[in-house]
Chain A
């Protein structure tokens, strides 16, 4: 069965509001990656987290890896219309990546 759960599946926000998507794994992950897929495009790598409790920032994006390495979150501060797309997490366990179902973000101008 699916090992990485991602919520919410859809999120609509007003431009300027914050947005967060969460991933939870049933097993401990070696690392977790985050991808962004623009409408009609393909997943593009954003970042990889490896260490327990790791926090990384990319401009308005903040990525966290849980202490138990079973959960992760992506937070976008003050969303912009360019943030529209689907955000996927992918957790590595063993030699295989398990993708979350993705969170589709719509930003209303």
Chain B
């Protein structure tokens, strides 16, 4: 069974530019989560999709972040415009129901 995949693995962009991260969950998993870990801090929840609907987006830091999951399959997380404090590792996870979440490898975002 293929795991959660994320693309790209690493992105370096300049302040003010736009970046779109992609997450492909495990096939059949209705739940998709985005998390972020800023250097030296804990992994923080960003939002939760159930199929194509946003179940909980309370962790989204501000309106520069936009997450979508059209069709309830893969999800994208767009940061526009990027700021220095957006640097970190963005993890995606998927699950079936409330069972354990399978994490993707993460995308390391560096904003310079």
Contact = CB atoms under 8 A, between A and B. Distances in A.
Nearest to A97: B45
B101 interface: yes
Interface residues of A, number: 21
B72 interface: no
Interface residues of B, number: 20
Interface in B42-59: 42-45, 48, 55-56, 58-59
Interface stretch (B62-70, B75-83, B102-110): B102-110
B43 A45 contact: no
A45 B100 contact: yes
Nearest to A33: B100
Contacts of B42: 2, 4, 6, 88, 98-102
A42 interface: yes
Contacts of B44: 99
Contact of B106 (A42, A88, A95, A101): A42
Contacts of A43: 43, 91, 103
A30 to B, nearest CB: 10
Interface of B: 35, 40-45, 48, 55-56, 58-59, 91, 100-106
